[in-house]
Structure 1
């Protein structure tokens, strides 16, 4: 468990998750806690550690890209997209002080609260948290880990109850410095979603190594690589990867092996020249695939005489 996580909670009663597509995506803000001493990592800058070529913080930012406002509570650093920066007072005052500082910069009725060390969090999980929060009419929807423990920093909350309880705790204890998250979550009506993958966080070097190994598994590596390349090049473009792979295959088999990467490069360049989006890429790929097919057919014994 990270320093920001709550102590083990009683096992929740199983409940069926609502269909994420059945409930409209709510307007929401996001608060990401990216501070902490990372003592189990020897004081390393944990949000900057890379898994699959991308910083952990950037991976979390991608998962909550739909937020109207994203607040990162930490010292400023380069990020893959613009965010609002906040800092707890004093720095290092703990998770409740950090959450309070971030929440002060938000205005939405719902807020997704996340730690910055979640390598497998994605937009679908964020959507599931928000739709569950709305469908259950709860004050918070939290993920639970493999051991059934609440992960209050992988959660969606209604903002008003958070502000209310933070204010009450500050009044009772004379401030929020050093207070554990469980004092807050114990006062909220929560619903729980079991997800040992999305709730996995990187507390130790062993966790980091395990995350890096999983990213490179066959079922994940291609999507992870393409996302990392797009982030590195500053490209925000969703394309049909299978279409491009089919084109590369046709060029390699029908023309020559080196034709595959060169053809896909030229398709991308042509689409960019036309200032097009995914549709332009698909159209250029279609034309190139047709050309590769014609090229290959010319080598068949029964091909029509070009002359």
Structure 2
């Protein structure tokens, strides 16, 4: 079986309180669709989407689950998603934030980088060289190791950057296009995405 014929799961981190945005930013309509649907649209139909966060309607079928404890932070959500992906028998796991509308397409860049090498993990890097610890492509062994490294608290309150940095061998960096790492935290950033997003790809 070739690597590309295996089962791929995408862990989409869709929790958070949207404090800076003021309302649920993932439900905010952008060109008539919730922001989250823009992110998910970048993922192929044959990718199993594991949506970690409060239940919410989406245009495509997803498996919804919560981090433990609910509201335990992005690392706890990451670990919950990895656990489910491994339990479902995924051969490759993608991780991406729900509030970056170009992150779905960016996850495919990470997937291709992983499949073209023998590495266990690939880590997204933005155009400024900053690591994006919530944008990953992982083989099952690396995903399992992250779950183990998270310990009994399952990543609650822990830094995702510190957790990912504990992988051995470390993840290989992969440059992502600007659109893939542009996240929306407030209305000014949403306005910037609406005006600049199409030119960032």
* TM-score, with length taken from structure 1: 0.57
Alignment check: 8 A CA contact 2:97 2:103 kept = no
Match of 1:113 in 2: 95
1:245-297 deviation per Cα after TM superposition (whole angstroms, max 9, x unaligned): xxxxxxxxxxxxxxxxxxxxxxxxxxxxxxxxxxxxxxxxxxxxxxxxxxxxx
Secondary structure of 1:118's partner?
A: coil
The structure carrying a bigger helix percent of its residues is 1
1:115 Cα shift?
A: 0.6
Distance 1:190 1:113, change over 3 A: same
Pairs within 5 Å for 1:256-267: none
Partner Cα distance (1:210, 1:146) in 2: 17
Partner Cα distance (1:145, 1:67) in 2: 26
Distance 1:25 1:175, change over 3 A: closer
1:186 Cα shift?
A: 0.3
Alignment check: 8 A CA contact 1:25 1:127 kept = no
1:65 Cα shift?
A: 2.8
Distance 1:175 1:214, change over 3 A: closer
1:138 Cα shift?
A: 2.0
* TM-score, with length taken from structure 2: 0.84
Structure 1 outlier segments of 4+, above 4 Å = 23-26
The structure carrying a bigger strand percent of its residues is 2
Alignment check: 8 A CA contact 1:60 1:121 kept = yes
1:118 Cα shift?
A: 1.4
* Structure 2 residues not aligned, in runs of 5+: none
Match of 1:147 in 2: 128
Match of 1:290 in 2: none
Alignment of 1:34 onto 2:32: no
Alignment check: 8 A CA contact 1:136 1:191 kept = no
Match of 1:100 in 2: 79
User: What is the root-mean-square deviation in Å for CA atoms of aligned residues?
Assistant: 2.3
* Residue in structure 2 matching 1:82, options 58, 61, 64: 61
| Max Rg structure | 1
Partner Cα distance (2:191, 2:112) in 1: 32
Match of 1:4 in 2: none
Alignment check: 8 A CA contact 1:30 1:67 kept = no
**Number of residue pairs the alignment of both structures matches:** 192
Secondary structure of 1:105's partner?
A: helix
User: Which structure exhibits the higher relative contact order, with contacts defined as CA atoms closer than 8 Å and separated by 6 or more residues?
Assistant: 2
Match of 2:31 in 1: 52
Alignment check: 8 A CA contact 1:141 1:155 kept = yes
Alignment check: 8 A CA contact 1:25 1:130 kept = no
Partner Cα distance (1:139, 1:50) in 2: 37
Partner Cα distance (1:39, 1:81) in 2: 26
Match of 2:164 in 1: 185
